[in-house]
Structure 1
Amino acid sequence: MRTSRKIAIITSVLAGAAATAGTAAPAAVAESGPAWAAYHGLSASQSVSRVTRLKNQGYRPITVNVSDGERYAAVWIKGGASNDWGIWQGMSASGFQKRFDAAVKEGAQPTSVSATGPADSPVFTAVFERKSGAFVAKSGLTPAQFGAANKQAAAKGLALSSVDAYGTPGDIRYVGVWSASSGAWYYTYGKSRQQHQAEYYAKRQKGFRPVKVSVAPDGTYSAVWRKDGVKSWAHYVDMNAAGYQKRVDDLKAKGLHPVQVNAENGKYAAIWQ
């Protein structure tokens, strides 16, 4: 069994060229936001070192991802209470469940969860934050189970707030978190790039934008769509690592920073604001 390696534990909480599915043109002058940091393609040990450094500099993670034989990506922003969150990596399915149970007892809940690897031996990474409100978290879901979980959550007033797909091309599994939320939202999953792009244009015409996106081992996409009034944002999929970095650099010059990043099999998808 893979040994869970915990990092940045906060004791008060837990004792190629990019192809786009469409973007919204950034405003000429985007609103100034918080200081941020983003990385991708880091090994487990490199990730631990980066987490320690960013934590000591006053940053906190807003999205994490593990893919491709335990390579890590994340986005951090500066500010917020340093004693209200914890981040873990390298967890087995049982290790993630154990960490989840411990976090809930301390009044924390997962805010970003990612997994990679086959269904019988996945690797998880997650961010937990101390926060109130109803939520549900499930992993190991088949596509049919994932669809059913979304319907059940929506009936309870919960919306999909974190999603990732793992497994193998012939056995896709999902891990998701559903949190208390207001307003309309939609979810899509198992979509090819072309289908995802069609969803993008259809949803955008109705005032919705993607706020979460993930790549599955078979190259299909999952997404969460919301109508939130954000004016300056961008959304790109089907990027390789170099393409993702170029987008980060180019959009930084326009005042945007990544708020969610996801990868699998060397293919990246991300959202900027």
Structure 2
Amino acid sequence: MRFSLITGALALLAGVQSLAIEERANPWQARHGLTSPQLQSVFNDLTSQGYRLNYISGYTINDVPTFAAIFEKKSSPSWVAYHGMTATDYQNKFNTYVSQGYRLVLVNAYTVLGVDYYTAIWDKSASDSWVARHRMTGAEYQSEFNTYTSQGYKLVHVSGYAIVNNAYYAALWVKINNAPAWVAHHGMTSADYQSKFDSYGSQGFRLTLVSGYQVNNVVYYAAIWEKSAGPAYYARHGLTSGQYQSEFDRIVAQGFQLKVVSGYDQGQSDRYAAIWEQIH
């Protein structure tokens, strides 16, 4: 299914609940546990009110495609978003929108009954050189990572997923002048991820991206940290829907805004990893 084109100017929100924050920040809303038709309905409703889709991840619950999304009411360059794309659909839309001056700002992948699908957002914001790849094996991803980082590119987004019990990756790199120090890892177990989170945090790095994914019934994480100034942030992973809702309510009440939410499978159940940043 497609989203409409819009032009112009560690937790999760349960079911189809929403939450908007308006004090000293743009209004924003989040959803999770949405089926494809529910997502399209929410998308149509919120974008008609001037909201932009900031983040979206796809996952499955009992083999049913399910989505978590973050919307924010803010001025924005022209943008377009789609979900439910096959690899071929995604590549075709990628080629079409890039030829029209759009750049990719987010791609997340998920699989349904062994078939990979993609959610993506493009916009017409200014950017330095950038490159994107998808359907990479672990070895291919590592090779591309080495190639582009050696050329001065910074990894800004990565999505892990499984196809026939093998790990695959979609990623986005941007060439950023004077980029802060940064590190990225993939294929981390929960314990590995927690250990690196603690280690990098103690060295002054902040988590900017986390992606959870299941391969052969084992959950792994890919993540990016950077050493940069920024507001206080809070991150959790491995949360059930109920735990995510509870954590969401608690941390948002303290003035934090959801920035990243990764829904993923653990067995046939949904789990969530998320990052919030303090806004007031």
Q: Is the 8 A contact 2:107 2:120 kept in 1?
A: yes
Tell me which residue corresponds to 2:253: 253
Count of aligned positions: 253
Normalising to structure 1: TM-score of the pair?
A: 0.87
Q: Secondary structure at the match of 2:225?
A: strand
Tell me which residue corresponds to 1:113: 107
% same residue: 26
**Coordinate RMSD, CA, aligned:** 2.0
Q: Is the 8 A contact 2:115 2:163 kept in 1?
A: no
* Deviation, structure 1 residue 10: 3.1
Matches for 1:16-35 after TM superposition, within 5 Å:
32-35=24-27
Specify every segment of 5 or more residues in structure 1 that has no aligned partner in the other structure, as ranges: 20-30
Q: Evaluate the alpha carbon distance shift between residue 228 and residue 33 of structure 1 in structure 2; reply closer, same or farther with a 3 A threshold.
A: farther
Q: Secondary structure at the match of 1:217?
A: strand
Q: Evaluate the alpha carbon distance shift between residue 138 and residue 190 of structure 1 in structure 2; reply closer, same or farther with a 3 A threshold.
A: same
Q: Is the 8 A contact 2:114 2:164 kept in 1?
A: no
Tell me which residue corresponds to 2:15: none
Q: Is the 8 A contact 1:136 1:179 kept in 2?
A: yes
Tell me which residue corresponds to 2:16: none
2:147 pairs with 1:143:
no
Q: Evaluate the alpha carbon distance shift between residue 191 and residue 139 of structure 1 in structure 2; reply closer, same or farther with a 3 A threshold.
A: same
Give, in whole Å, the separation in 2 of the partners of 1:109 and 1:244: 32
Q: Is the 8 A contact 1:119 1:166 kept in 2?
A: no
Amino acid at match of 1:242: G
Tell me which residue corresponds to 1:226: 226
2:55 pairs with 1:63:
yes
Q: Is the 8 A contact 1:73 1:261 kept in 2?
A: yes
Tell me which residue corresponds to 1:198: 195
Q: Where is the strand percentage greater, Structure 1 or Structure 2? A: 2
Tell me which residue corresponds to 2:89: 95
Tell me which residue corresponds to 1:267: 271
Amino acid at match of 1:10: I
Normalising to structure 2: TM-score of the pair?
A: 0.85
CA shift digits 1:148-200 (9 cap, x unpaired): 22222212222122211111473011111112322211101101111111101
Give, in whole Å, the separation in 1 of the partners of 2:113 and 2:162: 5
* Deviation, structure 1 residue 130: 0.9
Q: Evaluate the alpha carbon distance shift between residue 56 and residue 49 of structure 1 in structure 2; reply closer, same or farther with a 3 A threshold.
A: same
